């Protein structure tokens, strides 16, 4: 198994003075980067590929500091565009014959969450948390009759579903599934949609049935995606203590 961590963005919503990649945010004196790598090593991930862009030299420095010489960095100088570009940048270096985890970099989470994804019997899989605060920010997963029918931040009132949850931002794809994802990334770029986030690529594959993607429910396990200053406070005061138990 290999893992791709998408860490190229600026993260400007944290604050106007924030000048480091979000993957280098520290909690209990450990960066998100170090936590990702530790969790993936415990899973036995053979390769870890990070797509870096904004201030990527700081990520290189952190990797040297924590002694993770086995992690490969792919550079995305177009980090001002959408994460579809970041994902596509990894295509030349990933193994074409392995299961692959695709992960957002800005998530603090319990290791059991990534364990549940990696050990899922589903070939292609995403994670949902049914215990979430609905609003404009969460990427929502709508399910009807055990099938994903929508995957977006904004859900049309016309969508009929019996289960809704928030996407954690972690995915697992088989070799064939990853191939379809990359093909759709290429299609987006060809159509001038390079500003789109990679979630839109995955949504297209789901909605048009080019990939059958199943769901694992991690409701009740602690995690948080860090987008705003208040998320850092919540991560420190609420999520982190649950990881130290």
Reference 135, options 10, 55, 3, 231; nearest CA is 231
First to last CA, the chain: 28
All domains of the chain in start order, with CATH: 2-243 (3.90.550.10)
Q: Is 44 exposed, middle or buried (0-12, 13-18, 19+ CB in 10 A)?
A: exposed
- CB-based burial, 115-135: b 16+ in 10 Å, e otherwise: ebbbebeebbbbbbbeeeeee
Sequential pLDDT tens for the chain (245 residues): 999 999 998 877 775 555 789 999 999 999 999 999 999 999 999 899 999 999 999 999 999 999 887 899 999 999 899 899 999 999 999 999 999 999 999 999 999 999 999 999 999 999 999 999 888 889 999 999 999 999 999 999 999 999 999 999 999 999 999 999 999 999 999 999 999 999 999 999 999 888 999 999 999 999 999 999 999 999 999 999 999 86
- CA 232-234-240 angle, to 5 degrees, is 90
Burial class (CB in 10 A: 0-12, 13-18, 19+), 206: buried
Alpha helices in 44-128 (DSSP H): 56-66, 83-89, 111-118
In a 10 Å sphere around its CB, with 0-12 CB exposed, 13-18 middle and 19+ buried, how is residue 153 labelled?
Answer: middle
**Whole-model pTM?**
0.94
């Amino acid at each position: 198994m290999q893992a791709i961590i998408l860490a190229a963005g600026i993260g400007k919503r944290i604050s106007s003075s924030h000048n480091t990649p979000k993957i280098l945010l520290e909690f209990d004196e450990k960066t998100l980067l170090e936590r990702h790598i530790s969790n993936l090593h415990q899973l036995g991930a053979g390769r870890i590929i990070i797509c870096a862009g904004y201030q990527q030299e700081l990520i290189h420095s952190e990797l040297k500091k924590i002694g993770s010489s086995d992690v490969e960095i792919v550079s995305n100088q177009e980090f001002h565009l959408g994460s579809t570009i970041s994902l596509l940048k990894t295509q030349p270096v990933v193994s074409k014959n392995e299961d692959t985890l695709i992960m957002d970099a800005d998530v603090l989470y319990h290791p059991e969450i990534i364990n549940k994804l990696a050990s899922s019997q589903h070939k292609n899989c995403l994670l949902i948390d049914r215990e979430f605060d609905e609003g404009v920010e969460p990427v929502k997963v709508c399910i009807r009759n055990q099938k994903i029918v929508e995957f977006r931040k904004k859900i049309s009132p016309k969508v009929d579903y019996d289960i809704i949850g928030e996407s954690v931002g972690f995915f697992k794809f088989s070799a064939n599934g990853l191939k379809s994802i990359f093909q759709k990334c290429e299609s987006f770029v060809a159509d001038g949609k390079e500003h789109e986030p990679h979630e839109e690529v995955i949504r297209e594959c789901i909605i048009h049935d080019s990939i059958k993607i199943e769901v694992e429910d991690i409701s009740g396990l602690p995690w948080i995606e860090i987008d705003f200053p208040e998320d850092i406070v919540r991560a420190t005061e609420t999520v982190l203590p649950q990881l130290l138990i």
